[in-house]
Chains A and B, each alone.
Chain A
Amino acid sequence: MFSKRLLTTFCLILFAAVNIILLSISAKHRQGYSSCDRVVMAGIAPFQEGVTQAARFCEHVWRHYFSLVSARQEADHLKETLARIRLEQSQHLESEIACQRFRKLLMLDTETPLFQRLLPAQIVGLDPSIWFRTVIINKGVYDGVSEGMPVIAPEGIVGQIVAASYRYSKVLLVTDRSSAIDGLVQRTRTRGIVEGEAKAYCHFKYVVRKAEISIGDTVVSSGLDGVFPKGLRVGSVMGISKSPSGIFQEVSIRPFVDFERLEEVLVIVE
């Protein structure tokens, strides 16, 4: 009744439709790792960790024993940086003392630490695709990590945990297109949403046209998204464009964290 070619075409169309429906269901309902996923992760991720550590060891050897040519220059540069940081530190100390004084005056609790517990973790694997920005870290449910926890580095925000297995977790980086953080410009307190955009930068969206922002301004987390504590550094403003129409301005941000060279991160577990 039907030719073989027609039947094959029909089957392929049907398969494509089923495929799209299943992917939609997966995108909507699947969150985190199931037990089966966790077992598979537990079996494969240790190999990832081993390979990453071996590669880092080789890099370490190369950097410390074979690339001493630029060490002198680097040492001079670091000394200059250290001197500048010492100056900044003394200024910060003054600010801290003043801040404590004002807190006492306002009778605010000064004993509450910003973070109850920071859990250091190592990056053991990277996303295999150029379209998504996630990393695998070597801390999981056993270490107290769970989905939604913020991940930071000394330089600033890294991302948040999107799936946790027994010993490993997947972190969605701030540069991923599905990532969003409620942020504000530290200097002017202008609010907006930091969305991942591409490899090297993020977009600071929904910033009203009249808001005053300059290139180089620091953007920090506002704490209003319920994920990232207030005041964590995100990045610096690298570009501003105002279109003739529209109520918002286009602001691009360069994250402080160098994701290409990131090796260790801190998970805020409480």
Chain B
Amino acid sequence: MKVFCLYSVIGLATIVGQTTLLRMPVFQGVFYDLLIPLVVFMRLHLTFTEASLLTLILGFVMDLFSGGVFGLYMTVYVWIFLLVQGVSDYFNVRGTACRSALIAFCVVGQNLIFLTSTAHPWKGWHWLSAQIWPALGQIILAAVTGPAVLSLLETMHRSLKAPEAISSRGKGSMLGNDE
């Protein structure tokens, strides 16, 4: 429950941050969706129930603040949630380069889903040129900073888990189970 609440707060704070500060003109719209590394992290480190519930909640809230079709963000996060474990196991994602590729791939996927939802082929594609560069900027930024965000979350998760491990070991020793 503690973990669930903590990641809910982190997720909601991220949503508030990226709908206010990160959309300021100074960032030129190149900041990618920071909930993507969070969803990836949650899938890899939290229990299935916790991670799936948090993914749905965060997707729902993002959909409320977004101007797209309701359910688009939820779709993106759920697909990341479904595929990331398999991809991670299959390619043995451990190093920085692999993590960077994983986050960048997720951002590409998100942009493709959004592009599909906004595209009207009968209206032409000339509008796309204005969107290509910010999207490319997002993908590069995700590849560069994604592993750092994941590492930060892992450090935080370890520090959260450490006191629990110590307390459980303490309880074990009190019961005489500790070697």
Contacts and interface: CB of A to CB of B under 8 A. Distances in A.
Interface of A: 12, 15, 19, 22-23, 26-27, 30, 33, 37, 40-41, 44, 47-48, 51-52, 55, 124-134, 136, 162, 170, 172, 176-178, 197-200, 260-261
Given A26-B71, A129-B68, A162-B67, A44 B130 contact: no
A26 B127 CA distance: 25
Interface string B27-61: 00100010000000000000000000000000011
Contacts of B24: 55
Contacts of B19: 48, 125-128, 136
B60 A176 contact: no
B64 interface: yes
B60 A40 contact: yes
Given A12-B82, A125-B20, 5 more contacts: A23-B71, A27-B69, A33-B64, A51-B20, A170-B65
B134 A130 contact: yes
Given A26-B70, A30-B70, A51-B20, A128 B130 contact: no
Contact of B82 (A15, A47, A48, A133): A15
Interface string B68-101: 1111100100110010000000000000000000
Given A177-B118, A198-B130, A128 B66 contact: yes
Contacts, number: 110
B61 A51 contact: no
A47 to B, nearest CB: 5
A170 B75 contact: no
Contact of A198 (B25, B78, B111, B131): B131
B54 to A, nearest CB: 15
A260 B130 CA distance: 15
B71 A170 contact: no
B105 interface: no
B65 A177 contact: no
A252 B107 CA distance: 31
A15 B24 CA distance: 36
Contacts of A48: 16, 19-20
Interface string B3-18: 0000000001001111
Given A44-B12, A170-B67, A128 B18 contact: yes
Interface of B: 12, 15-21, 23-25, 29, 33, 60-62, 64-72, 75, 78-79, 82, 111, 114-115, 117-118, 120, 127, 130-131, 134-135, 138
Select the residue from B23, B61, B134 with max chain A CB neighbours within 10 A.
B23
Given A131-B131, A198-B130, A198-B131, A51 B67 contact: no
A260 B29 CA distance: 10
Contacts of B20: 48, 51-52, 55, 124-126
Most buried by A among B60, B61, B62, B65: B65
B68 A44 contact: no
A132 B82 contact: no
B69 A44 contact: no
B68 A131 contact: yes
A30 B70 CA distance: 7
Contacts of A44: 12, 15-16, 61, 64-65
B129 to A, nearest CB: 8
B127 A125 contact: no
Given A22-B71, A30-B70, A41-B64, A129 B15 contact: no
30 contacts: A19-B78, A19-B79, A23-B71, A26-B70, A30-B70, A40-B61, A44-B61, A47-B12, A48-B19, A51-B20, A51-B21, A125-B19, A126-B19, A127-B19, A128-B18, A128-B66, A129-B33, A129-B67, A130-B29, A130-B131, A130-B134, A131-B111, A131-B117, A133-B67, A134-B67, A136-B19, A170-B65, A177-B118, A199-B130, A261-B25
